[in-house]
Amino acid sequence: QVQLAESGGGLVQPGGSLTLSCAASGSIFSAYVMAWYRQAPGKQRELVASITRGGNTNYAESVKGRFTLSRDNAKNTVYLQMNSLNYEDTAVYYCMRDQLGVVYWGAGTQVTVSS
């Protein structure tokens, strides 16, 4: 089993920044993809950004140029730096780890953009 511990959500004003962290623990294998998804009220869960262990990243068009996903392999942690946040970024953000085809999810952390 793999456990994912998310942190860093909260309330931020439009134009502000937040950094989300996701630390993986448990039965960790070196081959993985980690990602952040988000789900806004009344909407489907969508991919925000993903990163492979080798560092290849992929971003949703809506966050390109504003969000940066990075990882620390030694700490089994990924970081999502979110800048220039707007109202449409309000959602519950979920960390995901795909490890040899087995997918694990975190419990989610709320990000609210409001003035």
Per-residue pLDDT of the chain in tens (115 residues, 90 and over written 9): 889 999 999 999 999 999 999 999 887 777 689 999 999 999 999 999 999 888 899 999 999 999 999 988 888 899 999 999 999 999 999 999 998 889 999 999 999 999 9
Q: What is the structure's pLDDT at 55?
A: 87
Amino acid identity at 9: G
Q: What is the structure's pLDDT at 27?
A: 77
29 to each of 2, 65, 69, how far by Cα in Å? 10, 30, 20
Output the CA angle 67-68-71, nearest 5 degrees. 145
Strands 91-99 and 18-26: unpaired
- The string of DSSP letters for 23-42 reads EEEES--S--EEEEEEE-TT
3-state SS, one letter per residue, for 79-113: EEEECCCCHHHCEEEEEEEEECCEEEECCCEEEEE
